[in-house]
Amino acid sequence: MAAATDDAGDSNEMIRVVSSDGEHFEMPEAAANLSLVLRHMIEDDCADAAGIPLAVVAAKPLAKIVDYCTKHAAKSSGLTIEEAEELKRFDAEFIEVDTDMLYDLLVAADFMGVEGLSKLAVQRTADLIKGKTPEQNRETFGIVNDFTPEEEEEICKENEWAFQITKPPSRLC
C-alpha cells in the first residue's frame, strides 16, 4: 500500500498512518486532524510519505478509527438536523462491537486523542455495565468468578439493598 502522491500544501492531502502490526492506512487531513496526536504531527511537518507510525494501535482498531474520523471530518461544521441525526445513527452503529474491539478502541482513541470517539466508547462501556447483575457483568466482560459460594452468599447478605431486583412496592406501615 504505497500509492499516494505527495502534493504538499494541498488541504485535501491524504495522511498516512501505520499500525503497530505494519499495515498502512490513509485518510484526508481533515480526518486526521480530529486526532490530537496526528494534528500536532501534521503541524510540525512530521507527516511524510512513509506514514506516521502508531506503535500501540493495531490494524483492526485503526481501520475503525480511520472510518470514524473520515465520516466525522466530512460532516464537521454546519450540520443540518438530518445530518446530525445521521451522524448519530452512524455512531450508534459504529460502536456496536464486541468487547475486545471496544477495549482496543478505548485505548487507541485515548492514545490518539480522538475526543469524540473516546466519549463514544466510554459511554458504550458504561452502558454495558448499567442495570446488570454480577453474573451478567461476568458474562459481558469475560470476568471469572473466583469467589467461593460462601463468600458469594455473604456478599448478597451484606448488601441486600443492591440485590433486590424488584423493590418492595412500598412500605406503608
Question: Which stretches of the chain bind other proteins, using CB under 8 A?
Answer: 20-21, 56, 58-61, 99-100, 103-104, 106-107, 110, 118, 122-123, 125-126, 129-134, 137-138, 141-147, 151, 154-155, 158-159, 161-162, 164, 167-173
Cα–Cα dist 71/68, whole Å: 5
Closest approach, Cβ 72 to other proteins, in A, equals 20
**Burial environment of residue 157 by CB neighbours within 10 A (0 to 12, 13 to 18, 19 or more):** exposed
Closest approach, Cβ 50 to other proteins, in A, equals 21
For the record, the C-alpha cell of 158 comes out as 451484606
Closest approach, Cβ 153 to other proteins, in A, equals 11
Cβ proximity to other proteins: between 92 and 162 the closer is 162
Give the list of residues 6+ apart from residue 2 with CB closer than 8 angstroms, or none: 24, 49
Q: How many Cα neighbours within 13 Å face the side chain of 98?
A: 4
Cβ proximity to other proteins: between 14 and 95 the closer is 95
Closest approach, Cβ 100 to other proteins, in A, equals 5
β-pairing verdict for 52-53 and 14-18: parallel
Nearest to 133 by CA among 112, 150, 104, 155: 155
Cβ proximity to other proteins: between 80 and 148 the closer is 148
Closest approach, Cβ 160 to other proteins, in A, equals 8
Give the list of residues 6+ apart from residue 124 with CB closer than 8 angstroms, or none: 95, 102
Cβ proximity to other proteins: between 56 and 74 the closer is 56
Cβ proximity to other proteins: between 76 and 145 the closer is 145
